[in-house]
């Protein structure tokens, strides 16, 4: 039975079942990337939105911000890492995921925002963090939970915890440069905090200062920076420079005048 609005209506006894003018379209690139999307109803014309899918829009907005420098040793860049994060969250928390991101637009906005908030962490670290979350909790994580997981992911780069690093820096014998550090970041953080301060101040004051510097160096390590380049070239213990006779005579005359000799 057909009504005037274009919706088809079927009578079943005394009950009418109406089918809205909506259909499941053929899979797009978005559905190929995220097979779990088969549960979403997509309105007609969704094929035309393929070019503006979440993955494409995120990449377009970030191409200029992230070049080859944003790739880690495995060739994974920040954009690919964010897409992989959302893909894993989608499969792990299917129903919760679709309640949080019911359509392409909301998912795209979330991807862009998460990308901007996670840009200081290495792509490999971000992916490892979301894997840890998926294995340990039953609810869809927030951005703050993912950031905390990234903060705890220093072991991926061989970085000890801040607490262990502090004790190592305090107990390392001199000369500090010759000590077998668990990671160079511990040495540079100790040097930045000050060896004298670590040796003479109490833990309550010294540890927060050390951990601040250690956090900075850990972030540099996770971004792939070379800490050795941060070490200044030491000055020679003594500089010998022979003065020109004329300049020596001028300086001597100036000194005599100042001393009124």
Note down pLDDT in tens along the chain; length 261 residues: 444 444 444 444 444 444 444 443 444 444 434 444 444 544 444 444 443 444 444 444 444 443 334 454 456 788 999 999 999 999 999 999 999 999 999 999 999 999 999 887 888 888 888 988 998 889 999 999 998 888 776 766 788 888 999 999 999 999 998 999 999 999 999 999 999 999 999 999 999 999 999 988 887 887 777 776 554 444 455 556 676 788 878 887 887 887 777
Rounded distance between C-alpha atoms, residue 24 and residue 174, angstroms: 70
**Model pLDDT, residue 219:** 78
In whole angstroms, how large is the CA radius of gyration of the chain? 31
Place of tokens 């964010």: 82
What global pTM score does this model have?
Answer: 0.46
> What pLDDT, on a 0 to 100 scale, did the predictor assign at position 68?
34
Q: In the prediction, which pLDDT does 253 show?
A: 83
- The pLDDT, as a whole number, for residue 215 is 85
Strands (DSSP E) along 100-193, which ranges?
Answer: none
**What's the confidence (pLDDT) of residue 19?**
45
Rounded CA separation 139/219 (Å): 28
Bridge partners (DSSP) listed for residue 2: 8
Could you tell me where the beta strands, DSSP code E, fall in 166-237? none
CA distances from 88 to 81, 97, 148, 253 (A): 11, 10, 18, 80
Cα separation, 25 vs 244, whole angstroms = 88
């Amino acid at each position: 039975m057909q009504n005037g609005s274009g919706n088809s209506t079927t009578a079943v006894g005394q009950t009418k079942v109406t089918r809205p003018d909506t259909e499941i379209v053929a899979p797009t690139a978005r559905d190929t990337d995220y097979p779990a999307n088969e549960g979403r109803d997509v309105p007609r014309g969704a094929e035309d939105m393929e070019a503006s899918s979440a993955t494409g829009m995120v990449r377009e907005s970030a191409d200029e911000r992230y070049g080859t420098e944003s790739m880690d040793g495995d060739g994974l860049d920040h954009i690919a890492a964010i897409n992989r994060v959302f893909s894993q969250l989608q499969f792990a928390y299917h129903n919760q995921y679709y309640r949080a991101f019911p359509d392409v637009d909301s998912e795209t906005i979330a991807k862009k925002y998460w990308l901007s908030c996670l840009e200081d962490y290495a792509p490999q670290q971000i992916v490892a963090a979301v894997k840890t979350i998926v294995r340990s909790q039953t609810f869809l994580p927030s951005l703050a939970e993912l950031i905390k997981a990234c903060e705890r992911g220093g072991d991926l780069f061989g970085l000890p915890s801040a607490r262990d690093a502090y004790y190592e820096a305090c107990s390392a014998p001199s000369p500090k440069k010759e000590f077998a550090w668990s990671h160079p970041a511990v040495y540079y953080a100790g040097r930045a905090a000050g060896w004298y301060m670590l040796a003479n101040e109490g833990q309550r004051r010294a540890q927060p200062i050390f951990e601040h510097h250690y956090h900075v160096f850990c972030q540099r390590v996770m971004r792939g920076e070379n800490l050795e380049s941060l070490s200044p070239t030491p000055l020679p213990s003594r500089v010998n420079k022979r003065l020109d006779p004329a300049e020596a005579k001028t300086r001597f005359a100036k000194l005599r005048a100042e001393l009124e000799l």
